[in-house]
């Protein structure tokens, strides 16, 4: 059926496809939000996932400029500044002034920060086991392939 050259059947298909993508996004959000809630209950350290990502970056890459960390993690510089403040306050990270150029400041991880990353990884393994025990091995492999494919799309 057409109204003023507009094919309603095609429009209906497009609306269905849009509704489907919103349903997919909604369900992905529900899974993510549930994971964040479960993470908060399991990891009782008054730190969010972004804090752990910053610490893990420092663990793997060593002392880093905040702008480099922000870029690597896809965060804005003001967000990283906020995260860094809390990490420094909790003595999980330190600010290090470059000896050659005192305008350059690096962020470094402390031993206490390394301990937190280790604990986060242990708790993360528990959370991952709890999440994926609902899936068969075949379903886990399918999910991994789907996420890899979608990541390539983005």
In this prediction, residue 132 has a pLDDT band, given cuts at 50, 70 and 90, of confident
Bridge partners of residue 107, in order along the sequence? 64, 95
Nearest to 51 by CA among 90, 15, 13, 24: 90
The answer, yes or no, to whether residue 93 has pLDDT greater than 50, is yes
Mean pLDDT for the stretch of residues 30-45: 88
Q: Give the range among 4-8, 47-51, 96-100 with minimum mean pLDDT.
A: 4-8
Q: Are 57 and 75 in contact (CB under 8 A)?
A: no
pLDDT for position 57: 98
The answer, yes or no, to whether residue 109 has pLDDT greater than 50, is yes
Residues 6+ apart with CB under 8 A from 87: 51, 54, 55, 93, 107, 113
């Amino acid at each position: 059926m057409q109204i003023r050259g507009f094919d309603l059947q095609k429009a209906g298909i497009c609306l269905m496809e849009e509704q489907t993508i919103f349903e997919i996004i909604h369900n992905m959000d529900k899974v993510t939000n549930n994971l964040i809630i479960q993470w908060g209950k399991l990891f009782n350290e008054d730190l969010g996932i972004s804090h752990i990502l910053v610490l893990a970056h420092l663990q793997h890459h060593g002392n880093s400029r905040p702008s480099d960390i922000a870029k690597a993690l896809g965060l804005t510089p003001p967000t990283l500044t906020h995260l860094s403040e809390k990490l420094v306050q909790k003595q999980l990270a330190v600010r290090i002034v470059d000896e050659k150029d005192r305008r350059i400041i690096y962020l470094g991880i402390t031993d206490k920060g390394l301990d937190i990353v280790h604990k986060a990884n242990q708790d993360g393994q528990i959370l991952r086991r709890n999440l994926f025990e609902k899936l068969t091995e075949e379903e886990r492999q399918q999910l991994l392939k789907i996420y890899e494919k979608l990541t390539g799309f983005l």
